[in-house]
Amino acid sequence: MKSSIPLILSLAAVLSAPAAEQAPLRDKTLVAWVTPANLTQRGGSVLTIEDGEGHFDGIVFGEVAPEKWMAGSDGFQRTEMRQDAWPNETANDTTFVQIAIVYSGNEIITYRDGAEYSRHTIKEPLTFGLDSTVVIGPRFSGGSDFFSGAIDDARIYDRALTAGQIAALKPNVPSEPRPWAWWTFDDEVCNDRMENFADTRLTPGAEVVDGKLCLDGAGGSLRAVHPANLPERSEADSPTAAHASPTAFLYEPSAGIAGDVIPYFAEGKFHILYMLVNKGAEHPGGECVEWHQLTTRDFVSFEDAGVALPRGATGEAEDLDIWTGSVVVKDGVSHAFYTGHNASFLKQGKPDQVILRAVSRDGVHWTKEPGFRFTPEGHASYHYLATPQSKVPGACRDPFVFWNPEGKEYGMLFMASPEGGGLAYAGSDDLDHWRLDEPFPVGKRFGGYECPDLFRIGNLWYLLFSTFDQNPGWATRYLSSPSLQGPWKSPADNFLDGGSLYAAKTVSDGKRRFLCGTLTSRKDKRDDGENAWGGRLLMYELMELEPGKLGVRIPVEVEESFGAQVPIALPNSSNGTLPYPNSRMELGKLPGRCLLNLKLKVPETGRAGVWVGGSQKEGFRFFVDAATQRMAWDRGALPLGANPEKERPWRPLKFQPGDTLSIKIALDGDAAVACVNDNVCLSTRIYDRRENTFGVWSDVAGTKIENLALRTRAEPQPR
């Protein structure tokens, strides 16, 4: 539903004004020179124009009848279904044919190589305006059928061309009249030569080869957006600009990639150490991995202390890379136990990982201790050195040091290579001399316990650790036990986010506990990219909901940093209810950084939620699903399980039909965090916010929305 929804007046300074109108496109001609890779494919498009409301017209191959070209449309509203008399396509995969479809009033005529192919009448033509989007590959945005083949030239005219004009057209040659939009695929950017579509992007499976757009039929597509659909963004709003994240909550370094987090509390401050990765040929080994440090008192304002632990000075240093670890404070001195890594050692048959130490007396300046070195070498329960049976050395990384009250000693958990997997344990009386024991009794149910963290709440110990699976992705999980000796139990849902929070550890000031991890990125910073390691920092407040069950929320201080709430009024006629199945209410445009609050009364069946960034058709949606008892992010993605590497995250969420859920969504550039009932969160990346509109939606009737409000403040907080 695209309409002018009234907002409370005070919101006017926050949301963008609508773009100016342009002359609508009613009569038109779509033309493409194309060669199908095969004649058995069904339902892909070589040129589609959409209106942003779910309506489209396009040149579609084989959807209704095999081997036939047709004027495709939403719900076949402008499509002729009787196609038996139409000629079958016979072109092989090296022969280009011109297909043109003319829309003239209530008549649609298709031409093949300048000769009339089909003609039919329709009830009413479709009009295109500022919401125009062009797609090539799928029949429509979010469609599951894709064209396979090559396209030499694709163009749209803002009028109905005559048969003679169509016959005179030549691929990659200008014409009179001039096209309204025109793609010749002269370079990988695929710009519209008429500059009506400012933003053109290819998805994996689409590439330009010898001036042709080649599509694989399995997801490859081109999408071009009209300038009116692009959000107005200042440099400060850009996710890649310096200080893009103005708080420690979703901190993004101005250069490099943030990795594993090592938090600790001392002298009234939270110290947020983290791995910073910079890649480039100027670094030995092709990348530089060091510890950097932030300090904060409230996870809003912060100080950037720069490099805490620099990498080793030479290419032969054991700590050429500074990998993750932990910090423990003893007698006023901070001891950082960290992993030294040098990938070149593996080529020499030597272990590439070792546990080292540095100390600091002020929490800012650190001194490495060259005399400290710890490995599991020589212990029968661990594989560390290469052997004839196992030619690859074992692991020795991610040390977590803590006070063990049961053993009355300092304990160290770390990733090693015990038989079958698990965690190693070492004990010490003084932090200097360590005794390696049998593996920690946590079991071998997981492939690895990356970046372990251990703490106690009430009568239970909690062990946090990270894993990577195709689905859900890079995840932080937990177990609990009344004793360090076990038994360690897992709740039904042992995740602290979805598949986007990795290497998270906790820090406490003695009153509250916070979870600090990495909001992972996607490959090539594309929304259809695979899950990738590292990205931005993400900070939650962590609490025990009941014995054995943990929850997280956006810290209150962070919520308040977004400023005062501005109510958003829904249409008076709606009474806050989405009255029909597949109802949509668009509510305006979003700033780059904001916090959206609402209460949602969930339906008995179906899904309901909000879209943020994008459009009604292709917005990033956060929703709850009554049927599957889930909360999820998506963007017209394939069904769960279709491609786990590229899926959006989801979490189990227990609720009853008719329950009212409190939902908060924090947006900061390309980062998005949703929180339900202040105890369960789900984060994701949203790189391409396109139109940047937002609104509420439901695929069933009767969903009720209340207390909708927006908070926004973009002033940077570093000092």
Mean pLDDT, residues 115-140 taken together: 89
Q: Are the folds of 28-229 and 562-711 the same?
A: yes
For residue 120, CA distances in Å to 74, 78, 86, 509 come to 17, 9, 12, 73
pLDDT at 391: 63
Q: How do residues 338-362 score in pLDDT, each as one tens digit?
A: 999 998 898 888 889 999 999 999 8
| Contacts of 569 by beta carbon, 8 Å cutoff, 6+ apart | 6, 7, 8
pLDDT at 144: 74
- The domains of the chain are located at 28-229, 248-559, 562-711
pLDDT at 693: 83
Q: Is the pLDDT of residue 234 over 50?
A: no
Per-residue confidence at 65, pLDDT binned at 50, 70, 90?
A: very high
Three-state SS at 223:
strand
Distance, in Å, from the CA atom of 91 to the CA atom of 684, rounded to the nearest integer, reads: 44
Q: Which CATH class is domain 28-229?
A: mainly beta
The share of the chain scoring above pLDDT 70, in percent, equals 87
Picking from 691, 616, 668, 671, the residue whose alpha carbon sits closest to that of residue 198 is 691
Per-residue confidence at 84, pLDDT binned at 50, 70, 90?
A: very high
Q: How do residues 498-519 score in pLDDT, each as one tens digit?
A: 888 999 999 999 999 999 999 9
Q: How do residues 312-324 score in pLDDT, each as one tens digit?
A: 988 889 999 999 9
Q: How do residues 615-630 score in pLDDT, each as one tens digit?
A: 656 678 899 998 889 9
Mean pLDDT, residues 239-264 taken together: 72
Q: Is the pLDDT of residue 16 over 70?
A: no
Three-state SS at 227:
helix
Topology at the third CATH level for domain 248-559: Tachylectin-2; Chain A (2.115.10)
Topology at the third CATH level for domain 562-711: Jelly Rolls (2.60.120)
Q: Which range in 153-162, 275-284, 467-476 is most confidently predicted, on average pLDDT? A: 153-162
Share the mean pLDDT of the chain.
85
Type and span of the H or E element at 695:
strand 693-698
Q: What is the token pair recorded at 533?
A: 């390691």
